Structure 1
Amino acid sequence: MWREISRIGKKLVENRLVESHFGNISVRIGNRMLITRSGCALDEITEDGVVEVSIGGSCALDMIASSETIVHRAIYRSTPALAIVHAHCPFAVTLSLLAEGDSITPADSEGQYFLGEMPIVKGGIGSEELAQNLAASLASYKASIIYSHGTFAIGKVLDEAYVLTTQVEHSCKIKYWYDLAKKN
């Protein structure tokens, strides 16, 4: 399974959805999850770059797991997700900073069809507040944007969560350019 995580990590970096050492990826396996290690370069993931931890509560390996492990746990407990991708998509971050409300509505037809409203949630990196807010949001949506931080997308498989991540960023990019053009 670490090879699948590695493949998605490389795609995230290649498509500029994250800088190499930012973002994280996990997969649920029963009551456990495989998650990228803290500080792991997503385009260089090896078997040692993935940690297996409990979904039920903290464990000793949390010390080396992603700083967002608490958030992944909460999402797995509150949703049917089997895979999670967290990226630092630049246009999604930008629009979250510019948004006047608590969501972004895509301007493009694909975004409207596949995503609909994109909620913006708040909470500090790796915090209990973020874990609770994202888990609640992702119980109703397949992807959410964290204010000033990035995106979280869920799926039944990693490819689904990855595609949702690309769709959010594409829709945010189109909306940014569209809103910019309207001002001129």
Structure 2
Amino acid sequence: MWREISRIGKKLVDTGLVESHFGNISVRIGSRMLITRSGSALDEISEDSVVEVGLDRTCALDIIASSEAVVHRAIYSNTPALAIVHAHCPFAVTMSLLCRNGAIEPVDSEGQYFLGDIPVVRGGIGSSELAGNISLALASHRAAIIHSHGTFAIGRVLDEAYVMTTQVEHSCKIKYWYDLARNR
């Protein structure tokens, strides 16, 4: 499974959805999850870059797991997700900074169809506040944006979570350009 995580990590970096050492990826396996280690370069993930931790409580390995492990646990506890991708997509972050009403409304047809309104939530990195806010948003959406931070997307498999990440970034890019042209 670490090879699948590695493949998605490389795609995220190659497409500019994250810088190498930012973001994280996890997969649920029963009552446990595989999650990238803190500080891992997503385009260089090896077997040693992934750690297995429990879903129901923190454990000793949390110290080396991603700082967002608490957020991943909350998402798995409150959604049907089996895979999570957290990225720092530049247009999604930009649009979250410009957002005034708690959600971004895509103007492109794909975004409207596949995403609907994209929730923008708040909370500190790896905080219980963020865990609660993002898991609540993902209970009814397949992707959401953390204000000034990045995206979380869920799926039944990693590829699905990756596609949701790319769709959010695409819709945010189109909306940014649309708003810019409209307000000239």
TM-score category (smaller protein): over 0.9
1:143-182 matches, cutoff 5 A = 143-182=143-182
| 2:145 partner amino acid | I
Cross-structure match for 1:95: 95
- What's the TM-score, normalizing by structure 1? 1.00
1:1-184 matches, cutoff 5 A = 1-184=1-184
Gaps of 5+ in 1: none
Deviation track 1:34-74 (CA, whole Å, cap 9, x = no partner) reads: 00000000000000000000000000000000000000000
Gaps of 5+ in 2: none
Taking only the aligned residue pairs, the percentage that are identical comes to 76
Deviation track 1:90-120 (CA, whole Å, cap 9, x = no partner) reads: 0000000001110000010110011000000
Give the root-mean-square deviation of aligned CA atoms: 0.3
Tell me how far apart the structure 2 counterparts of residues 115 and 131 of structure 1 sit (CA, whole Å): 21
Tell me how far apart the structure 2 counterparts of residues 112 and 136 of structure 1 sit (CA, whole Å): 20
Could you tell me how far 1:133 is from its partner in structure 2?
A: 0.4
| 3-state SS, counterpart of residue 133 of structure 2 | helix
Could you tell me how far 1:183 is from its partner in structure 2?
A: 1.0
Tell me how far apart the structure 1 counterparts of residues 113 and 142 of structure 2 sit (CA, whole Å): 13
| 1:89 partner amino acid | C
| 1:119 partner amino acid | P
| 3-state SS, counterpart of residue 170 of structure 2 | helix
Aligned residues: 184
Could you tell me how far 1:140 is from its partner in structure 2?
A: 0.6
- What's the TM-score, normalizing by structure 2? 1.00
